[in-house]
Amino acid sequence: MAVGSGSNPNRQRMINLMYLVFIAMMALNVSPEVLDGFSLVEGELRQATLHSEAQNARLASDMQAAFTSNPEKVRLWQERSRELQLRSDSLYTYIQSLKQAIAVEADGKGANPESLQRRDDLSASSVVLLGPIRPKGTELRQRIEGYCSWVSTLFGQGVQGEKIIQRLSTPSGKQGKSWEEEHFEDIPAIAAVTLLTNLQSNIRYIEGEALAELLKGIDAHDYRSNQLTAQVIPESRIVLRGTPYQASIVLSSIDTTKHPKIFVNGSLLPATSQGKLTLSTPTLGNFPLKGHIETELNDGTLVRSNFESSYTVIEPTATIAPTMMNVLYAGIDNPIRIAVPGIALQDISATISSGSLVRKGDLWIAHPAKAGGEVTIAVTARTPSGQVMPIAQSKLRVRSLPDPMPYLALTSAKGDVSRFKGGRIAKSSLLATGGVKAAIDDSFLEVNYTVLRFQLIAFDSMGNALPEASAGANFSERQLRQIQNTPRGRRLYITGIIARGPDGIERQIPSLELIIG
């Protein structure tokens, strides 16, 4: 930190000497346990970042698949997702360059921020981020604020979006200090690197939440027309050869006490048909349907409304669509929707080549035997005449379940339960959660996991890490006392979380960072 020259040189020399003594005293107080605690947390944050990047890649792949399927509809959302990724990568890379600069300042050329040698160096972060010529800490804050301002436009005015972006807030420090001075002035190099890694982790988390929001927006922003006009409402536009085509021809908002005259392809429908149209389908092809409806208004005026439609007769086919990301997951029940145009659901049968497949209401539940490879689902249908016909076969990939994310279950005053995934939390609310939960929740797949054990890491007044282990999903007595004794503003870390999914596999999942509010 540079010190300007004053009008009293002797006094300035004394201040400089006191500053050096203060730095030396702080260096003596940075114990190896504190430095080890920072190194542990920094490693956990990097693992959380890798998990977020993997999930973001899946979301980006889903966006690209939607764009490939319907470019006209998805183009705007895909362009926004690309800009989001570019902005996130740019800020992430800039922070990585700051970590590298701090490592070089502390350890010299060829240093690695992930394996600092002089972790207790108290000047490296100040030199890099608070230098008088080009204060990179100020530039970092401005870049973060610009990123948050742009990302907030993707979430709109919702409270949930504000909570997500709050992870990158840059409020001013105490006693007139800037955000960068509050966080990076005269702290050990490993602490500065850990803070920057936490920023990177939050960037990837916010990027993932924004990508999920963009995916939801594809359908949420559809525009659907609705006008008063004559309509042909078929039971199905596509029918199996040999089965009849049926449709209702109506005038929207028509008075049900009056019966309009319906003309189809030049012929008047019988009054007893009540608008139901039945045509034979002996051959394949596309067939036009034209006509008009004549109805009398209350004042006696005769109104004629024209309609035009068509129907297609095709060979038998089937639709097999898993409801969870177009894949099957081993070890869990996978809902699948199977439909055959023109055939009632109760007349459809299906089998799977490996595992089990059973009907449940309007869906089918597939339970593959193991991950890897493919399974084949074969569909047959019973026609109205009673004939059982093979319809189609479809091959689906079977994958292992992805890793879950940990959370705390917060209950509001109204009894609503929300998932808290890190940040500032009241001590009473933290104690009320009772423990840690885990689930896959990426807007497409939701599976609950059982937490087997975890560690709660707190820091005492000297900065020493105090890990306490649990024997299950709930906080132990020692952990509860640890939470109760943690003052406001201090951080707690829930790490080493081991969870088991319905597939029976135990996984170590990312950590939670908590700030007692």
pTM over 0.95: no
Query: Which pair of structure tokens corresponds to residue 455?
Result: 């560690």
Q: What is the pLDDT along the chain (517 residues), one digit of tens a residue?
A: 333 334 444 443 443 343 333 334 444 455 677 677 777 888 888 888 898 999 999 999 999 998 998 888 889 899 999 999 999 999 999 999 999 999 998 989 989 998 999 988 888 888 989 988 888 989 999 999 999 999 888 887 666 778 888 888 888 888 888 988 888 888 898 888 989 999 999 999 999 999 998 888 876 544 333 344 566 666 655 565 666 767 777 666 655 556 788 898 888 888 777 778 888 878 776 788 899 988 776 546 677 888 888 776 766 656 665 555 568 998 888 999 888 876 778 889 999 999 999 999 889 999 998 888 899 999 998 876 678 888 888 889 999 888 899 999 999 888 888 999 999 999 999 999 999 999 987 656 788 999 999 999 998 888 889 999 999 999 999 999 999 999 999 999 999 999 999 888 899 999 999 999 8
**Phi then psi for 482, rounded to 5 degrees?**
-65, -40
pLDDT on residue 251: 62
Query: Which pair of structure tokens corresponds to residue 244?
Result: 């009849």
Contact 295, 253 (CB under 8 A): no
CA distances from 243 to 270, 290, 470 (A): 22, 21, 64
Evaluate whether 230-314 and 319-399 have a shared fold.
yes
Contact 239, 311 (CB under 8 A): yes
Model pLDDT for residues 445-478, shown as the tens digit of each residue: 788 999 999 999 998 888 889 999 999 999 999 9
Calpha distance 285→515 (Å, rounded): 66
Model pLDDT for residues 299-316, shown as the tens digit of each residue: 466 778 888 887 767 666
Calpha distance 142→386 (Å, rounded): 71
Contact 377, 350 (CB under 8 A): yes
pLDDT on residue 282: 80
Mind giving me the DSSP string for 20-86? HHHHHHHHHH--HHHHHHHHHHHHHHHHHHHHHHHHHHHHHHHHHHHHHH-HHHHHHHHHHHHHHHH
Domain residue spans in the chain? Answer: 13-220, 230-314, 319-399, 405-516
Calpha distance 97→100 (Å, rounded): 5
DSSP 8-class letter at 373: S
Q: Is 129 helix (H, G, I), strand (E, B) or coil?
A: helix
CA distances from 360 to 351, 366, 367 (A): 14, 10, 13
Residue where the block lists tokens 């095709």: 314
Calpha distance 131→129 (Å, rounded): 6
- Identify the sign of the CA torsion 50, 52, 58, 60: negative
Q: Which residues pair with 287 in a beta bridge?
A: 311
Query: Which pair of structure tokens corresponds to residue 399?
Result: 């994958």
Residue 464: partners with Cβ closer than 8 Å, 6 or more residues away: 31, 33, 34, 37
Residue 154 burial (C-beta neighbours within 10 Å; 0-12, 13-18, 19+): buried
Closest CA to 184 of 115, 135, 146: 135
CA distances from 326 to 243, 258, 321, 350, 395 (A): 31, 48, 7, 17, 11
What CATH code would you report for 319-399?
Answer: 2.60.40.1080
Neighbours of 279 (CB within 10 A): 15
Query: Which pair of structure tokens corresponds to residue 261?
Result: 């005259």
Contact 495, 455 (CB under 8 A): yes
State the fold for domain 230-314: Immunoglobulin-like (2.60.40)
pLDDT on residue 15: 35
R_g of the chain computed on alpha carbons: 32
